[in-house]
């Protein structure tokens, strides 16, 4: 490992309510009007001391490059298969593990975390009805969607499906309904990246279907930390499932990250991604050994590699603590 050095990233301090919110119960169906649901959600957050209307500002924490080693002799780093990796202690900024963390590469639907932040920063009407149109279809990759042309959902529901189920048409519709349209939305995404100090990050669209959406594992640590400061992003990205009516018929959408259903995981934020140029990607905020941790896994191949890597990282951190060899931080 190279000597310790400072890396200027922007991290969010772990909110006090994260442990309570980390495991989400599945939302099986809509209950009441969108306005009723929104009011109930905001009331619940206020009871927990979280103001949902204005996201918490990220707290600048220096990220120090440190060896991910245990105090116990002979403790080896995990064998991680993803091409680019960064694992960080969110509370202290200490890097626990990294691999090709400065490599700039496509990030696929990890993009949607920035999409969500830009949407929420504009403080829009979350109850406004939006309609999926032909302009929201994927003409770049030709992917399909369960959101048929003419589907009408609230902006809140579009945001939930974009984060939870990585629905590309939902993300496209959100950018199309932004003041100034898609060009203004993409400009706002890149402006937000600059504001967060993400020097390796660039966006070309709101979905992540474009391989021109690029970042590094180090930069994505800052992106995840910033997104984690938004209560709705934490909630929607970790929901197990959600039901909406598509042309009058109920449809259940599920989270693209199977780990949110696991009782052995405490996940505060999650997002998956895939296009051929990016491979399979996964970013999460999770708790291990009472430690708020951010994991970034890029360019994984094979159906279960990114999930396997996440589990290996978790076991590595928890085993070190259990054997009295707590990772330095």
* pLDDT tens readout for residues 152-211: 999 999 999 999 999 999 999 999 999 999 999 999 999 999 999 999 999 999 999 999
Q: What structural domains does the chain harbor?
A: 6-322 (3.40.710.10)
On whether the CB atoms of residues 208 and 186 are closer than 8 A, the answer is no
Q: Collect all residues with Cβ–Cβ distance below 8 Å to 308 and sequence separation of at least 6.
A: 81
CA dist., res. 220 & res. 232, Å (int): 19
CA dist., res. 78 & res. 314, Å (int): 10
Q: Which of 53-62, 100-109, 166-175 has the lowest mean pLDDT?
A: 53-62
207-236 pLDDT, tens digit per residue, is 999 999 999 999 999 999 999 999 999 999
pLDDT attached to residue 33? 39
Catalytic residue among 82, 83, 166, 266: 166
Ordered DSSP codes for 59-112? BP--EE-----BSSTTPPPP---SSEEEEEETTT-BEEEEESTT--EE-GGGHH
What average pLDDT does the segment 92-100 reach?
Answer: 95
pLDDT over 50 (residue 40): no
112 catalytic, yes or no?
Answer: yes
Q: From 282, 218, 169, 275, select the one nearest 64 (Cα to Cα).
A: 218
Q: Given the structure tokens 């909110």, which residue do they identify?
A: 15
pLDDT attached to residue 240? 97
- Residue 227: its H or E element: helix 217-227
2-33 pLDDT, tens digit per residue, is 333 333 343 444 333 433 343 333 333 333 43
Catalytic residue among 82, 83, 109, 266: 109
CA dist., res. 77 & res. 252, Å (int): 40
215 catalytic, yes or no?
Answer: no
| Cβ atoms within 10 Å of 253's Cβ, excluding its own | 22
| Cβ atoms within 10 Å of 3's Cβ, excluding its own | 7
pLDDT attached to residue 324? 65
CA dist., res. 295 & res. 217, Å (int): 9
Q: Which of 6-10, 147-151, 258-262, 287-291 has the lowest mean pLDDT?
A: 6-10
Catalytic residue among 24, 66, 112, 271: 112
> CA separation (Å) from 226 to 58, 71, 222?
6, 31, 6
Q: From 224, 216, 12, 222, select the one nearest 112 (Cα to Cα).
A: 224
pTM recorded for the entire structure: 0.81
Residue 272, SS3 per DSSP:
strand
Q: How many residues are recorded in the chain?
A: 329
pLDDT over 60 (residue 299): yes
């Amino acid at each position: 490992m190279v000597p310790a050095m400072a890396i200027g990233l922007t991290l969010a301090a772990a909110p006090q309510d994260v442990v309570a919110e980390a495991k989400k119960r599945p939302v099986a169906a809509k209950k009441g009007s969108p306005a009723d649901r929104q009011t109930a959600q905001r009331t619940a957050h206020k009871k927990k001391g979280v103001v949902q209307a204005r996201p918490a500002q990220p707290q600048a924490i220096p990220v120090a490059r440190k060896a991910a080693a245990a105090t116990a002799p002979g403790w080896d780093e995990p064998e991680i298969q993803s091409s680019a990796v960064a694992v960080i202690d969110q509370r202290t900024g200490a890097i626990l593990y990294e691999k090709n963390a400065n490599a700039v590469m496509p990030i696929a639907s990890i993009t949607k975390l920035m999409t969500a932040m830009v949407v929420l920063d504009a403080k829009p009407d979350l109850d406004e009805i939006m309609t999926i149109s032909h302009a929201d279809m994927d003409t770049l990759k030709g992917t399909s969607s369960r959101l048929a042309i003419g589907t009408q959902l609230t902006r809140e529901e579009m945001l939930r499906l974009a984060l939870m189920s990585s629905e590309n048409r939902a993300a496209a519709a959100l950018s199309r309904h932004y003041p100034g349209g898609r060009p203004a939305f993409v400009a706002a995404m890149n402006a937000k990246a600059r504001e967060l100090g993400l020097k390796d990050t660039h966006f070309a669209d709101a979905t992540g279907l474009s391989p021109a959406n690029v970042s590094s594992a180090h930069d994505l640590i800052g992106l995840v930390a910033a997104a984690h400061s938004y209560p709705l992003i934490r909630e929607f990205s970790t929901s197990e499932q959600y039901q909406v009516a598509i042309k009058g018929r109920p449809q259940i959408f599920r989270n693209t990250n199977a780990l949110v259903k696991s009782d052995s995981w405490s996940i505060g934020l999650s997002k998956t991604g895939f296009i051929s140029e990016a491979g399979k990607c996964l970013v999460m905020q999770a708790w291990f050994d009472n430690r708020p941790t951010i994991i970034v896994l890029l360019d994984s191949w094979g159906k279960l590699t990114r999930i396997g890597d996440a589990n290996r990282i978790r076991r590595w951190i928890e085993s070190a603590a259990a054997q009295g060899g707590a990772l330095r931080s």
